[in-house]
A = this chain, B = another copy of it.
Amino acid sequence: MTSSTSTSRADPERIAVWVSRLRSGDARALARAISAVEDRRPEAAGLLRALFPYTGRAAVVGLTGAPGAGKSTLVDQLAREYRSAGQTVGIVAVDPTSPYSGGAILGDRIRMLSHHADPGIYIRSMATRGALGGLAQTTPDVVTVLDGSGRDLILIETVGVGQDEIDVVRLADVTIVILVPGMGDDVQTIKAGIMEIADIFVINKSDREGAERVEREIRAMQSISPRRDSWSPPIVRAIATSGDGIGDLAAAISEYRKFLGTTELGRQKRIESWRERLVAMLRESLVRRILQTELREADLTRYAEQIADHQLDPYTVVDGIIKKSGY
């Protein structure tokens, strides 16, 4: 996020009211807060700062898998499971593969309906593109808002293919990788890429032929690249559409969280995550300052033109801008 601006500094009272509404579970205040963060509005910095003291309490669970693995259904069932135990749930659905189709917003509405407008479940799809910093920058702030607003459980779901999505899922305390039988050899590559970050595996649609084979493959890959800690990622079989195995999954999540608590690994994970996030925040903050002060849009276009026409080289341009900025 940007640093505090005059807007946010000047209006601490408005921020305080907003925070208290968020803390009381006001769904409209929550929607507005997430939009402010997504759109990088000036008031977002002050809000995030004010919410920070309330964060760190939620369980953050990331779920990832190839398109077609049944992520949404599994996440919805998991949300239902936790709701029936009295927990409040926030769902962040990150799917950068369908931004042009408007599917994200439509999908939200359909999924909201399936929860009968239960205010204890809040779903937000993120499909913003081209924003400064991208999804990997915005998602942590959205999680901060949900966490600070008092949600007990935050589920982040994403397709496990690109680097951004993997960064997003690494925010979580618990990472779940969802596989399905019968997706062919090409999908094995995807699995290999996210193997190391899985704390729990789910074989979804496990009534399909080939579930044993998927399990054998997971075990084989685990033996090739074992984890550094003593946790052995369990494999949970599930059929998300019928709810089979959802209880087992919740139990596995609970067990891993217990493991994190007893081994100090949870704190280590959060420190590592903050290291990366601090660098990302610095990067964004600095470039935003330069773009707001030293380098106007018109200058940027003029430089780009001269580089495209080979009148300037980009390395000299960047050096020049930084020198001019006085840094």
Contacts and interface: CB of A to CB of B under 8 A. Distances in A.
A54 to B, nearest CB: 10
A278 B95 contact: no
B281 A283 contact: no
A87 interface: no
Given A278-B317, A283-B283, A327-B289, A304 B163 contact: no
A133 to B, nearest CB: 9
B308 A279 contact: no
B187 A68 contact: yes
Interface stretch (A13-21, A45-53, A230-238): A45-53
A248 interface: no
A192 to B, nearest CB: 4
Interface in A115-167: 129, 134-135, 159, 161-166
Nearest to A51: B313
A283 B3 CA distance: 16
A193 B265 CA distance: 37
A291 interface: yes
B285 A322 contact: yes
Count of identical protomers in the assembly: 2
A144 to B, nearest CB: 9
Nearest to A68: B186
Contacts of A286: 283, 286-287, 290, 322, 327
B96 A163 contact: yes
Nearest to A144: B314
Contacts of A10: none
A129 B322 contact: no
A262 interface: no
Contact of A95 (B101, B189, B303): B189
Most chain B beta-carbon contacts within 10 A, residue among A95, A163, A316:
A163
21 contacts: A1-B315, A3-B315, A52-B315, A56-B310, A68-B184, A68-B186, A96-B161, A100-B196, A101-B193, A134-B163, A162-B164, A162-B165, A271-B308, A274-B303, A274-B305, A278-B303, A279-B287, A282-B322, A283-B286, A285-B322, A286-B286
Interface of A: 1, 3-4, 45, 48-49, 52-53, 55-56, 66-68, 95-101, 103, 129, 134-135, 159, 161-166, 184, 186-187, 189-190, 192-193, 195-196, 225, 267, 270-275, 277-279, 281-287, 289-291, 295, 300-301, 303-305, 307-310, 313-319, 321-322, 325-327
Nearest 4 A-B pairs (CB), nearest first? A162-B162, A68-B186, A274-B304, A101-B192
